[in-house]
Amino acid sequence: MSDTTLTKRARIRNTWRQRLAERIATPHGLPWGPGRHSHAPPAEPDADTGAMAPRAALARSSAHGGGATALWRMRTTVGDEPGTLAALCTALAVLRVDLLTLQTHPLGAGTADEMLVRAPIELSAQALTSAATAGGGWDTWVERADAHDLVDTPTHVLGLATRTALDTSELPLALRQLLGRCTIRSHPDRPPDGQQEPADRVPAEGVLEETIMRLRDPAGGSVTIERPYLRFTPTEFARARALIELGTRLGPRVPHNAADQAREADRTNKSNTANKPNTADRANKSPATLPEGNEIIVRRADISDLEAARELHGRCSQATLALRYHGPVGDADRYLEHLLSPRYGRTLAVQTTSGRLVALGHLLWDGDETEVALLVEDAWQRRGIGARLLRQLVEMAAETDCGYVYAVTQSTNTGMVAAMRGLRLPLDYQIEEGTLVITARLAAAALPTGPRGENG
């Protein structure tokens, strides 16, 4: 992709992000990132911090005189000396705030106490902040929580390590669930559009700069993690570094059988999906029959499929490659190594019974957003392959608690437009100078059932 193409895409997506941000700011908007452990900026002093109490907000109300309660996550810094935590708890107890869990993050000057508390429903974020200040705390941050935040921290971290051990592509998602809502970007050591500058290389021990972490990537290059509204602590930095070091020691890996995925589901306590079929299992190797009777196999793909993907490019027309890559088709092969790397997302491949690769679908982690992209060989288009791939990619995104996915294409790409519409999800369209961004909002429930479509 040329610099001009990348600049155009950045401009249109900035407009698109702004509109989505405005939509999310409404009472019924959906937040970015995983909903089970999200970190949000503190509410304004007079703001209503939520139209509805979280699930379990009404639980155990008898302990508070029969009134309804809400769960909150709070982080505040106190002096590193005896009695400071007791003073903080006393100030909170005056407002009938019950401390449920506590983590301590030692700092150079003081200790950051991260707590999950239960408070009367009428208490606002500002009231909790004021109580923390009265108890000797400073740099206080507060957000609503729910019952999912009651998970034991070591259990939660071990579950994330298990997911990462089974599948290389889980690392960005595991980091996000470990650190809350943040932006994670991977930088290859050999970018397709140029050489890495020495200043961009990250030392082996990593770099922590308040709201930014930079760590070496097990696959080469580096990982940058940003959380502008809440500074990282040395403890969080050490946890993130340990998770990445685990990936470095294990090397590239993709799950190969359903047993691996079942163990992953059990160990990460995904009780809310226990009765639903595991999309990752189906994606590993899923046979299917096209409407005209052709047998195909949909499976996970990675860097080992690089040569087959290049051959697929060679069989595609210039027009098909241009619709997929939005730039000079001669650059297409240069991006395959990046696209197939599990570090940057997940890839599904469609192959015939003879083993020929005829389509690729990519689910790409883009900071705290997710992009979907499809390429189908000309001779295999309009048989429902693209729609099938897209649906499986979106199901995989939904299982990672992703709120939105988007596709960047051209307004003339009727096949991609039809495939997105075939999802039967709420869509947002943004277009500028022929570049079209279609954003689908994913529901908490499963995608609508029905035909997988005839387009693509």
Residue 380 has a pLDDT of 92
The per-residue pLDDT for 4 is 41
Answer whether 213's CB lies under 8 Å from 182's CB. no
Q: How many residues can be counted in the chain?
A: 456
So what's the pLDDT on residue 191?
58
- The token pair at 156 is 């939660």
CB atoms within 10 A of CB 331: 15
Residue 264: the pLDDT is 43
Strand order from edge to edge, sheet including 369-376: 285-289, 295-301, 345-352, 357-366, 369-376, 404-410, 435-441, 427-432
Query: CA 369, CA 371: separation in Å to the nearest integer?
Result: 7
pLDDT at 408: 92
By C-alpha distance, which of 165, 305, 308, 367 is closest to 249?
A: 165
Q: How far is residue 424's CA from residue 275's CA, in Å, rounded to a whole number? A: 23
Superfamily of segment(s) 61-145? ACT domain (3.30.70.260)
The token pair at 74 is 């709070």
| 3-class secondary structure, 177 | helix
Predicted pLDDT at 160 = 85
User: What's this model's pTM, rounded to 2 decimal places?
Assistant: 0.54
The CA distance from 412 to 107, in Å, is: 55
Distance CA 3, CA 199 (A): 21
- Look up residue 141 and give its two tokens: 């941050």
Q: What's the pLDDT at 367?
A: 61
Numbers of helices and strands, H then E, in the chain: 13, 16
Question: Which pLDDT score is estimated for 351?
Answer: 93
State which residues of the chain have pLDDT below 50. Answer: 1-65, 198-199, 257-283, 444-446, 449-456
**Which CA distances in Å does 16 have to 20, 265, 402, 404, 420?**
6, 34, 17, 12, 17
What does the alpha-carbon distance between residue 126 and residue 149 come to, in Å, rounded to a whole number? 21
Nearest CA to 124 out of 27, 43, 28, 54 is that of 43
* Three-state DSSP class for residue 428: strand
Provide the 10 A C-beta neighbour count for residue 45: 11
Of 2.60.260.20, 2.60.40.1180, 3.40.630.30, 3.90.1640.10, the CATH number of 277-441 is 3.40.630.30
Residue 149: CB atoms within 10 Å: 20
Give the tokens for residue 68: 């309804």
Would you say 408 and 435 are in contact if contact means Cβ atoms under 8 Å apart? yes
Q: Of 30, 37, 72, which Cα lies nearest the Cα of 177?
A: 37
C-alpha 278/C-alpha 350 separation (Å) is 19
Is residue 372 within 8 Å of residue 361, measured between CB atoms? yes
Provide the terminal-to-terminal Cα distance of the chain, rounded to the nearest Å.
23
Give yes or no for a contact between 95 and 120, defined as CB atoms under 8 angstroms apart. Answer: yes
Minimal CA–CA distance to 142: which of 161, 152, 127? 127
Locate the DSSP E strands across 302-444.
345-352, 357-366, 369-376, 404-410, 427-432, 435-441
Q: State how far the alpha carbon of 218 is from the alpha carbons of 188, 205, 241, 259, in Å.
A: 10, 13, 11, 25
- Joined tokens for residue 250: 């294990």
Give ∠ CA 345-348-354 in degrees, rounded to 5: 150
DSSP, collapsed to helix, strand or coil, labels residue 361 as strand
pLDDT value of position 447: 52
Q: Across the chain, what does the average pLDDT equal?
A: 74
* CA nearest to 419, candidates 377, 375, 364: 375
> What backbone phi and psi angles, to 5 degrees, belong to 367?
65, -125
Sign of torsion over alpha carbons 178, 179, 182, 183: negative
Q: Give CA–CA dist 129/126, Å, rounded.
A: 5
